[in-house]
A and B are shown apart, each in its own frame.
Chain A
Amino acid sequence: QKEVEQNSGPLSVPEGAIASLNCTYSDRGSQSFFWYRQYSGKSPELIMFIYSNGDKEDGRFTAQLNKASQYVSLLIRDSQPSDSATYLCAVNNGDNAGNMLTFGGGTRLMVKP
C-alpha cells in the first residue's frame, strides 16, 4: 500500500509569517512530488513539482525534497490570507504507464490577518 501522509491541521499562521507544510511517503521508488492547493469547494490546482533532492523555489513558494528521509515539504513565505486553503501533497512513483498520483489527505492552512 503506497501511502502519503500529511497532518490534517489546521495550521494557523499570522499574515506575513512562513507557513511550513510537511508530507511523508512510504514508497521509496517514488520519483516526482507535487503540491496542489485546493480552495473549499474548488478543484486542486498545481503549485509546484519537484523530483530532485534539495530545494526548488518559485516566488513565495519553496518545495524541499529529501528522498533518503522520504520527506517533502512546502514553505510559503510572507503568507497572505488568500493562501488559506488545503494543501495536497501528491506522489508519483513512475513505475506505471500513466504516472497517476497518490495524494495525501491534505493540510488545511489558515492565514490570519
Chain B
Amino acid sequence: GAGVSQTPSNKVTEKGKYVELRCDPISGHTALYWYRQSLGQGPEFLIYFQGTGAADDSGLPNDRFFAVRPEGSVSTLKIQRTERGDSAVYLCASSPHGGFLNTEAFFGQGTRLTVV
C-alpha cells in the first residue's frame, strides 16, 4: 500500500479482554514506532522497532503491553487484561532508516480503542 495501514480502525472491547492491534508499515521502511494518543493530548511514545527487534520499549506503560514484529514488516501491539484507562488512539509510524533526523516518519490513521 501507499501508506501506513492500521487495522482495525476502531475496536471496542470489554474490560479484562485481550486485544491485538495491527500495523502494516510502508514497504521497505525499517523503523516502526507505536504511539498512544489520548483525547486532547499529544502522542506518547510506546515502542520502537528497528527491523525485527524492539530497540526501545521504554514507553510501554506496564507488562500488559507487548509488541512484536517477527518478519521486520507488520507489527502487532498486544494488550492483555485491558483496562478503561487503555482507551486511546494507538498510532503507528514508519520511517525508511530509523530515526527522525532528516527523515520523515509517516503515521497511520490509528486504531481507536475503547474499553468499556
Contacts and interface: CB of A to CB of B under 8 A. Distances in A.
Interface of A: 4, 6, 8, 31-32, 34, 42-46, 49, 51, 88, 90, 92, 94, 96-106
Interface in B11-34: 31, 33
B110 A46 contact: no
B105 interface: yes
B108 A43 contact: yes
Q: Interface on chain B toward A: helix, strand, loop, or mixed SS?
A: loop
A44 B100 contact: no
A92 B101 contact: yes
Given A43-B110, A99-B98, A104 B42 contact: yes
Contacts of B110: 43
Interface residues of B, number: 26
B62 interface: no
Contacts of B33: 98, 100
A56 to B, nearest CB: 13
Contact of A103 (B31, B40, B43): B43
Contacts of A103: 35, 42-44
Contact of A101 (B31, B50, B100, B102): B100
B52 to A, nearest CB: 14
A70 to B, nearest CB: 17
